[in-house]
Structure 1
Amino acid sequence: MTLRPTDSSALLIDGKLIPGSGGTFEVINPATEEVLGRAADATASDMDAAIAAARRAFDDTTWFRDHAFRTRCLRQLRDVLQSHIEELRDITIAEVGAPAFLTSGPQLEGPVADLGYFADLAESYSWEQDLGIAEPMGIKTRRRVLKEAVGVVGAITPWNFPHQINFAKIGPALAAGNTVVLKPAPDTPWCAALVGHLIAEETDLPAGVVNIVTSSDHSLGAQLSTDPRVDLVSFTGSTATGKAVMAAASESLKKIFLELGGKSAFIVLDDADLAGACGVAAFTVSTHAGQGCAITTRLLVPRDKYDEAVEATARTLGGLHAGDPAKPGTICGPLISARQRARVEDYLRLAREEGGTIVVGGGRPADRDRGFFVEPTLIAGLDNTARVAREEIFGPVLVIIPHDGDEDAISIANDSPYGLSGSVWGTDPARVKRVVDGVRTGTLSVNGGVWYSADAPFGGYKQSGIGREMGVAGFEEYLETKLVAEPAQ
């Protein structure tokens, strides 16, 4: 079977590919502003049907008990996706605006391969633990701890890394024995819908185990949060929306996982290779036009080397032009939409109003009259109290801030409502360790170490979220714990 854009104009509900009750909505190429095609537009009634299907599949089948079957289905899904990887790659570049080089990693191939990790984990996991015999209140008792699926998982995902985030939820949720209703972002419906097409046509996943509901209506995500038939909501997106999800889920006291925003610090110590570190910071913030919650967007450098750091960072940023994501070598593609570009441009105006200096970038590329592009931008002359240094911009915008030594760098890094990611560069292991220990964040890279991996837990402190995704910790987010106590002889 060959995937075509028309394959994405259907919902996957209860094992069937069906049209959306609301008709269809346009899918836009962010690099050209052209209409790629249309996606199925679900309504509340479609979401209701998807939740009902997931509930039946969990309650009325052996899916959550049959570990071996789930493992086989996950590996089968991985293999099917890999057999269509080039078609998926083309759609991902066109719909997401993802630079082509990223599709060999976290934008596509990495997350697909990661499904195998969760299959292996389900196969090897200790689903039962014997606590042995105790005599509470003088009664001799044998105790067992069982790990069981939570139930129906509502997964609400954003547009920036759709495959990575979709599979980081679907993979462990299915491996744990849950059924899933996925509500992808309206900006990138095809990435999810094409997966739904393959599930329906080329896998043995039972009807209702995975349901994919694309829609232009954001309220369908709220429907997942409030419906009592949904046992857990797994949400990735902005902190503001995450708070709304948490409040809505509280009505039924359902479990939640939240992976939210970030304003992560890239800390350069005074013994580091300054030019090298600043170059990496510039490259990082330009990647995928800065549209990543874990991207480091505050560059903290020694005060007595501030001018040198500004120059080195600007030199690298100036060479990273925003361009066609399909072209090899492009690092900075488009922003996802005109709305997101306007948001980034509002922050650039704010930076000037706050007294900052746009050292490089700060506008739309002169050679691009179509597409939602913003040049990689460096803002200098502001401290950590500025709004552009405190609020998540989600664009290729880096704020460079001076620090007065290691302790001050830790203090500035922690002076944020967020705590998702970060980076530390230095040569003295003891000093680096002190900074790593001091920064309150869920993920830290040291001297360029790569933290993304299927077996590595990811998540944040403070307003960057609740819980962890990926790894054993991410898998166990989708489990309940049951204690069974029986008389012992």
Structure 2
Amino acid sequence: MSIEALNLIGGTWQPARSGKTATSTDPSDGSVLGRFPDSGDADARAAIAAAREAFERPDWAQNPRLRQQVLLRWADRLEARTEALAELLTRENGKVLAQSRGEMAGAISEIRYYAGLARHIPGHAMEVEPGVFSTLLKEPAGVAGLIIPWNAPIVLLIRSLAPALAAGCTTVVKPAPQTALVSWDVLRELDAATGLPKGVLNLLSETGHAVAQRLVESPEVEVISFTGSNGTGQRIMAAAAPTMKKLSLELGGKSSCLVFEDADVAKVAPALAAAATIISGQQCTAARRVLVHASRYDEMKQALAQALGALRVGPGLAQGVQIGPLIDAAARDHVEARIAATLDAADEVIVRGGRPQDAPKQGCYLLPTLVAHRDTSAFFVQEEIFGPLLVLEKFEDEREAVTRANHSEFGLSASVWTNDGARGWRVARALRNGTVWLNDHNKLFAEAETGGYRRSGIGRLHGFDALIDFVEIKHIYQNAGVV
């Protein structure tokens, strides 16, 4: 396999203006998958100009029926290539094939959901006094810059791009360099969808930050949608401040899973092990902390250790593998170092991970690690360590469980495990998180908004409210008088 990706600017596929390219590799074994343009500021300026020109024409921004048809055609084209795209996703990202297939299915569902909404973004009108009318319209905000991460590059691309297009925005997409090839392949299918006007979609890949910086700073870009780390989100907010653009930021998480005394530990432990190691622990909603009632703590410690130890680590395309490699060597080395520091500081080391002995030597693999700790101020309880590390904690009652879980600078997601329905709702209401699952974890889909409290971000993606980040509300006033 050798893929040669290109940029898309104003409807034309082209190399970077500098002629520079970069290599994409398979994190399971280090093999080269292909090359992509290493773009810069000149490319960004051209793409923004193309998106601006396309937005100023009425054929997209004011044509919801066309927007719906293009989105539906895109979904159909992706569905026809689901298996090939899932395999490429696994090769470039490392996640196991079952997760890649699930990501493709979720992404296609999301496109069709926003295609449905494209024709129903209503405003409202009212008569505020006799003969005086106020009409409020929801209009597309303008050019949207979408900065996409590598951990779920298809579904996280589409959960920003689909509502942006449905609302009538034009776009410049900047994917992560680690997953530039699969991003290019997915967007080729959108560009090929009948009816898409030139300039509505623009794609630029890069290894540096010049494109992203231009998108954030440009007064010609009205919206930035970014998913990634809290530190990068802060820098985006600061750089975007002079232009006062709209921001949609989904940032870090440190999900707590609260397990009460009436839960079935034998069933919950494997579910938590899977939730902690999804995408090798490289998901912002992955289970990070397991808080267990004292009466079931020892049982959970043993069951969770067994469940983590039973997970098979290896190449994502291999039969029976449940945990693939981390995204690249730099990420693996960073996570490995943070886990090493955790092992030195934790009250108890229950499962010591490390690098698997039987995995390919050039692969970026880590086995899951489980520690127990009491102090919620510890760095490994507070910090988002983006890999397969899980912290076990003990609580005595509901109040302590909620207090411990809420001791976090993040507030993206959590889960509550109990057979007491009233308790589940009571605790979920008390948790300061944008999403709380009851007796489940990592359930994300198009219809339900997701986003975080506190440093986990601003705005919401998925659901109807995702459109808010891509529209402006215009008030039109008229005193028509009375007869």
TM-score of the superposed pair, with normalisation by structure 1: 0.95
Displacement of 1:161 in angstroms is 0.1
Q: Deviations over 1:209-241 (max 9, x none)?
A: 010101111232121110100001001000000
SS at structure 1 position matched to 2:370: strand
User: Hey, what's the Cα distance between the residues in 2 that align with 1:347 and 1:64?
Assistant: 47
> Which of 70, 74, 82 is the matching residue for 2:71?
74
User: Hey, what's the Cα distance between the residues in 1 that align with 2:120 and 2:373?
Assistant: 53
> Which of 467, 472, 477 is the matching residue for 1:480?
472
User: Percent of aligned positions with the same letter in both sequences?
Assistant: 37
- Alpha-carbon contact 1:17-1:200 (below 8 Å) kept: no
User: Hey, what's the Cα distance between the residues in 2 that align with 1:293 and 1:101?
Assistant: 19
In structure 1, the partner of 2:116 is 120
In structure 2, the partner of 1:282 is 273
User: Hey, what's the Cα distance between the residues in 2 that align with 1:445 and 1:16?
Assistant: 44
Q: Deviations over 1:73-124 (max 9, x none)?
A: 111111112222222112101001121111221x222112310110101123
Q: Which amino acid aligns with 1:116?
A: R
User: Hey, what's the Cα distance between the residues in 2 that align with 1:430 and 1:118?
Assistant: 34
- Alpha-carbon contact 1:58-1:64 (below 8 Å) kept: yes
Q: Which amino acid aligns with 1:391?
A: E
User: Hey, what's the Cα distance between the residues in 2 that align with 1:322 and 1:424?
Assistant: 28
SS at structure 1 position matched to 2:115: helix
Tell me how many residue pairs correspond in the alignment. 479
In structure 2, the partner of 1:251 is 242
335-344 vs 198-207, greater mean Cα deviation: 198-207
Displacement of 1:279 in angstroms is 2.2
In structure 2, the partner of 1:87 is 84
Displacement of 1:199 in angstroms is 3.2
Q: Which amino acid aligns with 2:125?
A: D
Q: Deviations over 1:427-467 (max 9, x none)?
A: 11222221111000000110126631111101000000001
User: Hey, what's the Cα distance between the residues in 2 that align with 1:157 and 1:423?
Assistant: 26
User: Hey, what's the Cα distance between the residues in 2 that align with 1:129 and 1:176?
Assistant: 16
Give 5+ residue unaligned stretches, structure 1.
none
> Which of 386, 399, 405 is the matching residue for 2:397?
405
RMSD: 1.5
> Which of 307, 314, 329 is the matching residue for 1:323?
314
224-233 vs 361-370, greater mean Cα deviation: 361-370
TM-score of the superposed pair, with normalisation by structure 2: 0.96
Structure 1 residue 375 corresponds to structure 2 residue 362: no
In structure 1, the partner of 2:6 is 10
In structure 2, the partner of 1:130 is 125
Q: Which amino acid aligns with 1:16?
A: T
> Which of 367, 380, 390 is the matching residue for 1:388?
380
- Alpha-carbon contact 2:154-2:186 (below 8 Å) kept: no
- Alpha-carbon contact 2:285-2:442 (below 8 Å) kept: no
- Alpha-carbon contact 1:21-1:41 (below 8 Å) kept: no
User: Hey, what's the Cα distance between the residues in 2 that align with 1:320 and 1:187?
Assistant: 25
SS at structure 2 position matched to 1:371: coil
Superposition pairs for residues 138-287 of structure 1, below 5 Å? 140-287=131-278
SS at structure 2 position matched to 1:257: strand
Displacement of 1:305 in angstroms is 2.8
- Alpha-carbon contact 1:17-1:197 (below 8 Å) kept: no
In structure 2, the partner of 1:110 is 106
SS at structure 2 position matched to 1:143: strand
In structure 2, the partner of 1:300 is 291
Q: Aligned pair in 2 of structure 1 residues 87, 5: CA closer, same or farther (>3 Å)?
A: farther
